[in-house]
Structure 1
Amino acid sequence: MFSQLVEKLPVGICVVNQDYEIQFLNDFFLDRMSSHWRAKYKGNQLADIFPEQVKFLKRRIKSVFVLQHPSFSYWEQRPHVFPFKSSRPITGEEMQMFQNMEIVPLTASDGERLACLILQDVTAQASYFIAQQDFSSALKREHEEQLALIKKLDTAQSQLIQAEKMASTGQLAAGIAHEINNPIGFVSANLDTLKQYSFHLIQLCDALADKLQTGSGELADFANETLNSFHYELLKEDMAPLVDESTEGLSRVRDIVENLKQFALEKSGGWQLVNIHETAEQLIQLISAQYKTPVYKVQCEPENLQIFCDPGGMKQALTNIVMNAAQSIDTKGFVKIDIKAGAQWVKIKIIDSGSGISQDNLKKVFDPFFTTKPEGMGQGLGLSVAYTAIERHKGKISASSNPGRGTVFEIIVPLHAAEQQSAAC
Structure 2
Amino acid sequence: MTTAEAKLKERVKELTCLYQVSSIIVNSDYDQLETSLEAIVYCLKRAWRFEEATEVLLSVGGYKVKTNDFRHDMVNIKSDIKVFNKVEGQIIVGYPSEKYALSDFLDEEQTLLDNVSLAVGNLLERKQIRDSEAATTRQMERADRLHILGEITAGIAHELNTPLANILGFAELLKDKVKNNENRRDLEKIMDNAIFSREIVKKLLFFACEMPQEMGTVHLNPMVDNVLKLLGPSLQGKKIKLTKSFDNENIELKADTVQLTQVLFNLIMNAIYYSPVGGQIDVKIVEEKKKISIRIADQGKGIDTKNEDKIFEPFFTTKPTGDGSGLGLSVVHGIISSHKGLISHRPNTPKGTIFTVDFPKL
TM class by smaller structure? 0.3 to 0.5
Q: Which structure is larger by alpha-carbon Rg, 1 or 2?
A: 1
Q: Which has the higher contact order (CA 8 A, sep 6+)?
A: 2
Q: State the TM-score, normalizing by the size of structure 2.
A: 0.43
Q: Normalising to structure 1: TM-score of the pair?
A: 0.37
